[in-house]
Chains A and B, each alone.
Chain A
């Protein structure tokens, strides 16, 4: 979809849909929001819907940052301590590497 050919109201609608969709534990939708609408929100010259789009993009960015932080922290902790957690670590794991603790 080429955003050039879409009207501003439709752009706002899209941005809002992706923003709301991200709350269903789908941070990638927020990532898409940020990347896709970044130019429209911050770089293009002003138009009526830009303020709202800007707000949505900022909030999506914030949500994305929170998710990234949480996931990075959890992944680091898990990778580091899984072998020390013994049984609990094995129950949390979907696949366990062969031959290493």
Chain B
């Protein structure tokens, strides 16, 4: 064969290899893999484990669509082919049914919840009734009458499902084609006809979400670092954590940590994160997004006026991550301040304003909460009263209805409580609820844009949705204006400047769109650094705090928005910008400010976006609980939440299962055939010479 045809054959073979053949393998005949499933994962704290666990290879159960609570009997006792995989419509996903399923877990292989397109009317909150009750400021020693929500139950709808431990996997399925396939399979094979049990083969589902960590954080951290014998200890859990974002109206020297002389600060705080029962699908529109978007808008409103006429006190904007898990971010910042690891410390704090859940203020109005115990001190009490007076006056000017809650009522769950644990500070928490939360979907997957009434007219294309100013945006802009003016006055600013402080409605609308609908929009594209452009997509960002090794994009986004709203553009080259070199003295640049080279917009007659350098005071600090820093994993003072690790084979699939009898029959037939053939062969072999002897000549032994 000559060289040319050899080459041709080789090329042909390579071409065939790369283009593969689609195989109709046996696996595709048996299983249908389900897409779009969200598992519930295991989280651990110092004493407990919560969440769900499956077996190593997944749990298999016969599918049963639960129609009502009475139908549970089939699954729990009368059904003839346990274990069952219970599929619930979301209105049946409540505490009584889940507890019954939990208690008879020998007959339950797992639960799948179908996520509906609309939220349950009566409200649903898998969080506890008293969020963060053990790590707030209200403890037995602070004030026994206020501890454990004795006077005010903040989340009465809460059923605590997120904090229960389940021995079987629980998945959430989206209500779409995949669920239709399951329903079809169920109707074809598993239907109970005239009271008689359905016959094999039955439709079954396998859920696989094996978690590596067990018992509690102490155990799992010990096992992760068991260096005594293992050469390469396998890490089984990671602490929850992220980064806090903070910025200030005046540059603070970042390297001069500890108490700062002649510096008084007003802290304006909001929280960034939220959670749901299932892993990472929480949007937290009302519980957290409304708060931090309002604070961002207030920061934007204050940017110009504080640059030109800086008030006597500095305003420090802080955005805490991990607050749903026992105040991870705020406890860490307080710890840093106590240990002189932060540019200011607790004595520098003049007062504290926190923006809680404010999204539903048009239903229940706005309320101010304060801490009754610290107000027993007269100086703190006068400070709080003057702060509330400022709030009232500003609210009156803006025609906003603002009310004060009773002095004896404790603070709702807020980052401010962690600051109070260290030191009494005058402060106010602004929310839209008086006693219990107005939010009926606190920390659940239903706390979404619909609940905030963030709806756009149906015929509007996406590019115009981005700039459409909804009523929600207008409302939040008003609240932001009120907060901004109050902060300016509280920081000692002049009354004449107040009227010029206004939050921009368009900015608020764009923030609501970018943070709650989709991250890919022109404004975000212009204000983030070029390296992160691929991370912008058609979905909103994730608000689950995540593990410390995973620096979520959400925190970065908030820091870029804050930098854009409070920083200014400086005319330095890209290289100098990324090296933080603005002034001749490098130290002055990095100590006082942070620099970002952002992508910018494409000019009208150009093709490439023109980037520029933004100088701001925005910084990120680590938001990991001090318990992990100090390695006190059993701590009751700090958050000890950690998340288990898992292998990547989390998923769900459906298939048919055959009866046990048929399987045993197959095995029996196989063994019988093997034994018979062994016997026969032995028999024939021993008589082989004789059996095959005819036609052979006697002289030759072999033929």
Are A and B subunits of one complex?
Answer: yes
| A interface residues, Cβ below 8 angstroms from B | 86-87, 90-91, 93-96, 98-101
- A interface secondary structure, majority: loop
The CA-CA distance from A90 to B230 in the complex, in Å, is 11
Given contacts A86-B219, A90-B222, A90-B223, contact A98 B230 (CB under 8 A): no
A96 cross-chain contacts in B, Cβ below 8 A: 223, 226
- B interface secondary structure, majority: loop
Contact with A along B193-229 (1 / 0, CB 8 A): 0000000000000000011111100010011001011
The reply on B56 being an interface residue by CB < 8 A is yes
Closest 9 CB pairs of A and B: A98-B212, A101-B214, A94-B229, A99-B212, A99-B210, A96-B223, A99-B211, A101-B215, A90-B223
Q: Are B211 and A94 neighbours in the complex by a CB distance under 8 Å?
A: no
Q: Which single residue of chain B is at the shortest CB-CB distance from A86?
A: B219
Q: Are A94 and B212 neighbours in the complex by a CB distance under 8 Å?
A: no
| B interface residues, Cβ below 8 angstroms from A | 53, 56, 210-215, 219, 222-223, 226, 228-230, 234, 236
The CA-CA distance from A98 to B234 in the complex, in Å, is 9
Given contacts A90-B226, A94-B230, contact A99 B219 (CB under 8 A): no
Kindly list 20 other residue pairs between chains A and B, CB separation below 8 angstroms, not including A91-B228, A94-B230, A99-B56.
A86-B219, A87-B222, A90-B219, A90-B222, A90-B223, A90-B226, A91-B226, A93-B229, A95-B230, A96-B226, A98-B56, A98-B212, A98-B234, A98-B236, A99-B210, A99-B212, A99-B213, A99-B214, A100-B214, A101-B215
Q: List 26 A-B contacts (CB under 8 A).
A: A86-B219, A87-B222, A90-B219, A90-B222, A90-B223, A90-B226, A91-B226, A91-B228, A93-B229, A94-B229, A95-B230, A96-B223, A96-B226, A98-B56, A98-B210, A98-B212, A98-B234, A98-B236, A99-B53, A99-B210, A99-B211, A99-B213, A99-B214, A100-B214, A101-B214, A101-B215
A28 to chain B, nearest CB (A): 23
B214 cross-chain contacts in A, Cβ below 8 A: 99-101
Q: Which single residue of chain B is at the shortest CB-CB distance from A100?
A: B214
Q: Which single residue of chain B is at the shortest CB-CB distance from A92?
A: B229
Q: Which single residue of chain B is at the shortest CB-CB distance from A96?
A: B223
A94 cross-chain contacts in B, Cβ below 8 A: 229-230
| Residue among A91, A99, A100 with most chain B CB within 10 A | A99
A98 cross-chain contacts in B, Cβ below 8 A: 56, 210, 212, 234, 236
A99 cross-chain contacts in B, Cβ below 8 A: 53, 56, 210-214
The CA-CA distance from A89 to B695 in the complex, in Å, is 75
Please count the residue pairs between chain A and chain B whose beta carbons lie under 8 angstroms apart in the complex: 29
B511 to chain A, nearest CB (A): 41
The CA-CA distance from A44 to B223 in the complex, in Å, is 56
B222 cross-chain contacts in A, Cβ below 8 A: 87, 90
B210 cross-chain contacts in A, Cβ below 8 A: 98-99
A90 cross-chain contacts in B, Cβ below 8 A: 219, 222-223, 226
B129 to chain A, nearest CB (A): 29
Q: Which single residue of chain A is at the shortest CB-CB distance from B222?
A: A90
B192 to chain A, nearest CB (A): 35
A93 cross-chain contacts in B, Cβ below 8 A: 229
The CA-CA distance from A91 to B227 in the complex, in Å, is 9
B215 cross-chain contacts in A, Cβ below 8 A: 101
B229 cross-chain contacts in A, Cβ below 8 A: 93-94
Q: Which single residue of chain A is at the shortest CB-CB distance from B228?
A: A91
B53 cross-chain contacts in A, Cβ below 8 A: 99
The CA-CA distance from A87 to B214 in the complex, in Å, is 13
A95 cross-chain contacts in B, Cβ below 8 A: 230
The CA-CA distance from A96 to B223 in the complex, in Å, is 8
B312 to chain A, nearest CB (A): 55
| Residue among B56, B213, B214, B234 with most chain A CB within 10 A | B214
The CA-CA distance from A41 to B79 in the complex, in Å, is 63
A11 to chain B, nearest CB (A): 36
The CA-CA distance from A87 to B226 in the complex, in Å, is 10
The CA-CA distance from A14 to B223 in the complex, in Å, is 46
Q: Which single residue of chain A is at the shortest CB-CB distance from B54?
A: A99
A95 to chain B, nearest CB (A): 7
The CA-CA distance from A61 to B233 in the complex, in Å, is 39
The CA-CA distance from A73 to B212 in the complex, in Å, is 29
The CA-CA distance from A95 to B575 in the complex, in Å, is 50
The CA-CA distance from A94 to B219 in the complex, in Å, is 15
The CA-CA distance from A98 to B42 in the complex, in Å, is 13
Q: Which single residue of chain B is at the shortest CB-CB distance from A98?
A: B212
Q: Which single residue of chain B is at the shortest CB-CB distance from A87?
A: B222
The CA-CA distance from A101 to B219 in the complex, in Å, is 9
A91 cross-chain contacts in B, Cβ below 8 A: 226, 228
The CA-CA distance from A86 to B226 in the complex, in Å, is 13
The CA-CA distance from A98 to B647 in the complex, in Å, is 11
A87 cross-chain contacts in B, Cβ below 8 A: 222
B213 cross-chain contacts in A, Cβ below 8 A: 99
The CA-CA distance from A96 to B235 in the complex, in Å, is 11
B219 cross-chain contacts in A, Cβ below 8 A: 86, 90
A100 to chain B, nearest CB (A): 6
The CA-CA distance from A95 to B231 in the complex, in Å, is 11
A100 cross-chain contacts in B, Cβ below 8 A: 214
B236 cross-chain contacts in A, Cβ below 8 A: 98
| Residue among A94, A96, A100, A101 with most chain B CB within 10 A | A96
Q: Which single residue of chain B is at the shortest CB-CB distance from A91?
A: B228
A86 cross-chain contacts in B, Cβ below 8 A: 219
The CA-CA distance from A99 to B219 in the complex, in Å, is 12
The CA-CA distance from A13 to B45 in the complex, in Å, is 63
Q: Which single residue of chain B is at the shortest CB-CB distance from A101?
A: B214
Q: Which single residue of chain A is at the shortest CB-CB distance from B210?
A: A99
Q: Which single residue of chain A is at the shortest CB-CB distance from B233?
A: A96
A51 to chain B, nearest CB (A): 42
A82 to chain B, nearest CB (A): 12
The CA-CA distance from A95 to B212 in the complex, in Å, is 13
The CA-CA distance from A99 to B215 in the complex, in Å, is 9
The CA-CA distance from A90 to B228 in the complex, in Å, is 10
The CA-CA distance from A100 to B54 in the complex, in Å, is 10
Q: Which single residue of chain A is at the shortest CB-CB distance from B212?
A: A98
Q: Which single residue of chain A is at the shortest CB-CB distance from B226?
A: A90
Q: Which single residue of chain B is at the shortest CB-CB distance from A94?
A: B229
B223 cross-chain contacts in A, Cβ below 8 A: 90, 96
| Residue among B210, B213, B229 with most chain A CB within 10 A | B229
The CA-CA distance from A93 to B233 in the complex, in Å, is 12
The CA-CA distance from A101 to B215 in the complex, in Å, is 7
The CA-CA distance from A27 to B226 in the complex, in Å, is 30
The CA-CA distance from A90 to B378 in the complex, in Å, is 54
The CA-CA distance from A99 to B213 in the complex, in Å, is 5
Q: Which single residue of chain A is at the shortest CB-CB distance from B49?
A: A101
The CA-CA distance from A96 to B226 in the complex, in Å, is 10
B39 to chain A, nearest CB (A): 14
A4 to chain B, nearest CB (A): 28
B228 cross-chain contacts in A, Cβ below 8 A: 91
B56 cross-chain contacts in A, Cβ below 8 A: 98-99
A94 to chain B, nearest CB (A): 5
A92 to chain B, nearest CB (A): 9
B230 cross-chain contacts in A, Cβ below 8 A: 94-95
The CA-CA distance from A82 to B226 in the complex, in Å, is 16
The CA-CA distance from A28 to B229 in the complex, in Å, is 25
